[in-house]
Amino acid sequence: MTENQTPKTARNRVALITGANKGIGFHIARALGSEGHTVLIGARSPERGEQAAASLREEGLDARFLHLDVTDEALVAAAATRVGDEFGKLDVLVNNAGIALADGDWNTSELTVATARKVFETNVIGVVSVTNAFLPLIRKADAGRIVNVSSEVGSLGFMTGDHEFAAMQGGAYGASKSALNMLTVSWSKELAPTGVKINAMTPGYTATDLNGNRGWRKPEDAARAAVKLALLPEDGPNGGFFQEGNEYFATEVVPW
């Protein structure tokens, strides 16, 4: 954040998206910016983060880079302090940052402890770190919303079903998303009395750097479910798992 940025106002809605310098996170930021939010581009790389924010500003959106590495507790704490000092609250948090790693031929028996630890550090512990650090600011919003970007690979119902993807091994990535889903449910119980809503979503098989751009969905399409959950009305769901459309399931609700 720089000194020449627009001043805060009490009416501003502020959204933070982690891992927002590219892919699905970038398109979530673009969509929320188009809805009038000030969007904070959470990214590890100052160069790539600022480039992403600058490109959105060129589209007329209020986008600002926020230095954030979900695996660095000190950096997370500093980012939360910065947002609190400038805005005093956070309306939307989208936990989008994630990694998918495996060893050998992606067999679970080949998975090393080092790889599993690295995946969980980002996809699970990083979400705990960021969410709990920013939760005091989210509680101060009129209608705080938290969206966890999960995956159908983290759905036990999906991975034990009768379809082509059920044959794949979820490995550390799938296990991390299952853990993220449980955390979503757990937070939802605590936050239910406060009006803050937290939900998980799957973007579907999307072409991003995470999967070598092999997916058939476009990132801008995959972002829709997250944006919808970020903009939930007061009577919207809390503690659910959703998709956009019906790519794998008959409804927008994804089985756990």
Structure tokens that stand for 62 in this block: 């209020």
Residues recognised as catalytic: 173
Is beta strand 14-17 parallel, antiparallel or unpaired with respect to 92-95?
parallel
Task: Please list, in sequence order, all residues whose beta carbon lies within 8 angstroms of the beta carbon of residue 102, skipping any fewer than 6 positions away.
Answer: 110, 111, 115, 171, 172, 173
- Give dist(CA 216, CA 190) in Å, integer: 37
H helix runs in 59-170, sequence order: 73-87, 113-120, 126-139, 156-159
DSSP codes of every residue in 28-50: HHHHHHHTT-EEEEEES-HHHHH
- CA-nearest of 28, 16, 66, 57 to 208 is 28
